[in-house]
Amino acid sequence: MSKMGELYLNTEKEEIAFNASMYEDENPDYQSSCCSADPFGNSFDEEELTGICSKCYDGANFNDLNKEGE
Ligand SMILES: [Zn+2]
């Protein structure tokens, strides 16, 4: 394998790991009202509590679990 190819592969792997950790941090406890699923990717609008449901991939309203219960 050429040096360029090796470099590309490493960068790609790091980017995937980086994105995964980003999503973990940016997904607080929100649940779609349709499926009780997480918001999909970065589709979530925190102010409107709307986004794409990660289960049915349709637009959905979300509940903020941190604000509910009491
Ligand atoms: Zn859904």
CA of 47 to the centre of ligand 1 (A): 19
Give the pLDDT score at 50: 96
Measured in Å, residue 22 CA sits from the centre of ligand 1 at: 23
Assigned domain for 39 exists: yes
Q: What is the pLDDT of residues 30-63, one digit of tens each?
A: 999 999 999 998 889 989 999 999 999 999 999 9
17 in any annotated domain:
yes
Whether 69 is in a domain gets the answer no
Q: Is residue 13 part of a domain?
A: yes
Asked whether residue 33 is assigned to any structural domain, the reply reads yes
| Residue 70 within any structural domain of the chain | no
Expressed in angstroms and rounded, the spacing between residue 25 Cα and the centre of ligand 1 is: 22
CA 70 to ligand 1 center in whole angstroms: 25
Classify residue 20: in a domain, yes or no: yes
Angle at 68 between CA 51 and CA 32, to 5 degrees: 25
Q: What is the mean pLDDT of the chain?
A: 80
In the chain, the number of structural domains is 1
* Phi, psi angles (nearest 5°) of residue 43: -80, -15
Q: For 13, which DSSP code? A: H
* Average pLDDT of the residues in 1-30: 67
Range(s) of the domain holding residue 57:
3-64
Of the two residues 24 and 61, the one the predictor is more confident about is 61
Q: Is the pTM of this model over 0.75?
A: no
Length of the chain: 70
Average pLDDT over residues 10-22: 71
